[in-house]
Chain A
Amino acid sequence: MLESRAIAAEPLIRVENVSKHFPVTRGLLVMRTTGQVKAVDGISFTIGRQETLGLVGESGCGKTTTSRLLLRLERPSAGRVLLDGRDVHALTGAALREYHTRVQAVFQDPWSSLNPRLRIRDTIAEALVVNRRVSKAGRLERVEEVLHQVGLPLGAGGRYPHEFSGGQRQRIALASALASYPELIVLDEPVSALDVSIRAQIMNLLKDLQARQKLSYLLVAHNLATVRYIAHRTAVMYLGRIVEHADTESVYRNPLHPYTKALFAAALPADPDAPRDDLILSGEVPSPIDPPSGCHFHPRCPFALEQCSRVDPVLRAITSDHAVACHLY
């Protein structure tokens, strides 16, 4: 497995062989479990301090479930998520409260992520109120501090969400994630719901905050250009598994897995003269209820070998910082 760039003894986050299976049930009166959706199927990665890991893949690949496992919004069916070496799903009491201040999140839709009935300052202070015994004055001071950090006027605190535009709301969401001095922020499609001219503002803000506040990010995104701009390392997921994982530059310069190649080829460069080596995949992503045997990608893979339908390829390091799960390598 690939280690994070940071040389620190223990990475901030270590995900060990984590799976999440959802039962599929049928029947009106008597519920029967007829199958398992293997949303996440035995993945491992680490996130170092001040590092951004980008998780890319198409809808249904398990990237959002992975982020929810890190946030304790889902319990893993198998495996562990470790924060500083401690299993986050086994935390209780004070340790759990501490976890809630250290790990925060920003979601895709800024229209849905702010409680319309709360003033901005109350939304931002929520994590402080719940987890830390901070005086009211201390809370207000912190709210003003983070509002300033995300580039909003101080007066914003007393207003309600509907008075703000999408870009401003995403800044507020970020401020509320920052308030409790977190170390890791899970960013689930943080800019894809925003207007094109606003996206760069938010992406630059994310980069600045990372440098200033020493943050780590888990960036879940389907836009490959966004990931290249923000992430230090990139993991590509397909049907619940990581198929390729490397330093971002290395993945983008030299994609190895056929799926990664196809994914990159399908992304359209903003250049009418860009070469079109279309590797158009046939068919669509199969159902995760009954994924194909062996390598999940083999039915759509133009380079499939005979063994691909039988043997699961393991994620293996090809070079010191580039791992791929494919029988071709």
Chain B
Amino acid sequence: MASPGRVVLEVRDLHAYLYTRWGVVRAVDGVSFALREGETLGLVGESGCGKTMTALSVLRLMPEPAGRIVQGQVLLEGEDLVTKSESEMRRVRGRRISMILQDPQTSLNPVFTVGSQIVEALRMRYADGVDALRRLAEEALRRVKVAAPAERLRAFPHQMSGGMKQRVVGAIAVAGEPRVLIADEPTTALDVTIQLQYLVLLKEIQARTRLAMLFITHDFGIVARMCDRVAVMYAGRIVETGPTRALFRAPRHPYTAALMASVPRMEASVERLPSIEGQPPLLHHMPVGCRFAPRCSYVDDRCRREYPPVVPIGPAHEASCWRVEPSPPSR
């Protein structure tokens, strides 16, 4: 794994709400994390927990006009993105922070060739002529291991398979040599064997460019494979963060532990899985205390009254739970 570099992206106490006609949806409700050069942070959670909204707020791409960042900072190499103007943000997106979305089908424009879409992305970064840009585009496709890149530049998205399209999306995302790459479930639409090829490719790109990656997923298998650190989100907040190995060995938040235990294993047979009963709270009807309290097997009165503080439990490992005992600082 990469040695930790300097912090590239830091999110501090971010609150991003959606103002809908049914009320205020507190999609992101006090999220903080830091992302270092060459590092992959996994953002894990179920649908509706706010992980995608967190990513969109970092890029200031919340759905208009309902979405708003109400509080907090997003520091990219020390600059606060929250206070930037829209035209300044356009120079950030694609060049300094890029994003890969879940569905390669909708990420590419069906009426333009793959080549022209990559060239478009490159044009934002390089002021070269069209011929030079096309050579760069070919190089970009070669780097994401697309066979026969020169011919592929002339292809339209529908002429490619899902895995191939997602590679093109990857090529476009890293074309501007960004410092941060946000990958939002990039392999969910792909088959398992293609998924592994793609994950290996992302790792190779990261090793070469020292990209910082924010990897959004609900799959613990991908987390175990890809991430250096993990942040587990539940109902708009991060409930536990820690180094991947520590978190898998000893998950401390009851939600993390229960979620991990409820996933069936490929490598072992079990007679019965423990399951989490109930379902996540609606984001506009949040419980008062700990948001996991209604589903937690260790719940007590304090959990229902008050949201627990962040408790340090090990090197870079912390959880928000009243039951967790703080460990003395290890150094």
Measured CB to CB, the residues of A under 8 A from B are: 58-59, 165, 167-168, 195-201, 203-204, 207, 222, 224-226, 228-229, 248-249, 252, 262-274, 278, 280-281, 284-285
Contacts and interface: CB of A to CB of B under 8 A. Distances in A.
A274 B194 CA distance: 20
B279 A278 contact: no
B297 interface: no
Given A196-B218, A203-B273, A272-B224, A284 B264 contact: no
B197 A272 contact: no
B279 A263 contact: no
Contact of A269 (B221, B259, B260, B274): B221
Which of A58, A226, A271, A281 has the most chain B CB atoms inside 10 A of its CB? Answer: A271
B196 A229 contact: no
Contacts of B258: 197
For the complex of A and B, the 3 pairs showing the least CB-CB separation, nearest first, are A268-B221, A200-B275, A270-B220
A303 B266 CA distance: 24
A270 B221 contact: yes
Interface string B187-207: 000011111110110000000
A228 B268 CA distance: 8
B244 to A, nearest CB: 5
Given A270-B220, A285-B191, A197 B259 contact: yes
B132 interface: no
Main secondary structure of the interface of A (DSSP, over half): helix
B109 interface: no
A265 B46 CA distance: 25
Contacts of A226: 264
Contacts, number: 124
A195 B280 contact: yes
A153 to B, nearest CB: 13
A269 B221 CA distance: 5
Interface string B243-273: 0110010000000001110111111011011
A165 B193 CA distance: 31
A196 B262 contact: yes
Given A228-B264, A252-B269, A273 B279 contact: no
A58 B163 CA distance: 13
A203 B196 contact: no
Nearest to A58: B191
B191 A59 contact: yes
A204 B271 CA distance: 10
Q: Kindly state the interface size class of chain B when it binds its partner.
A: 35 or more
B200 to A, nearest CB: 7
Nearest to A278: B196
A274 B248 CA distance: 12
A229 B266 CA distance: 8
A289 to B, nearest CB: 14
B193 A196 contact: no
Nearest to A276: B225
Contacts of B193: 58, 262-263, 266, 280-281
Interface in B280-330: 280
A268 B224 contact: yes
B222 interface: yes
Nearest to A269: B267
Contacts of B222: 268
Interface string B212-238: 000000111111110000000000000
Nearest to A226: B264
Nearest to B197: A280
A280 B262 contact: no
A274 B47 CA distance: 27
B277 interface: yes
B161 interface: yes
Contacts of A272: 224-225, 244-245, 248
Give the one of B192, B225, B244 with max A CB within 10 A: B192
Nearest to B262: A200
Contacts of A268: 196, 199, 219, 221-222, 224-225
Nearest to B267: A269
B163 to A, nearest CB: 6
A198 B218 CA distance: 12
20 contacts: A58-B191, A167-B279, A196-B262, A200-B264, A200-B276, A201-B277, A203-B264, A203-B273, A207-B272, A222-B191, A228-B265, A228-B269, A229-B269, A252-B267, A264-B266, A266-B195, A268-B224, A271-B267, A272-B245, A272-B248
B224 A270 contact: yes
Given A272-B248, A280-B197, A225 B46 contact: no
A225 B279 contact: no
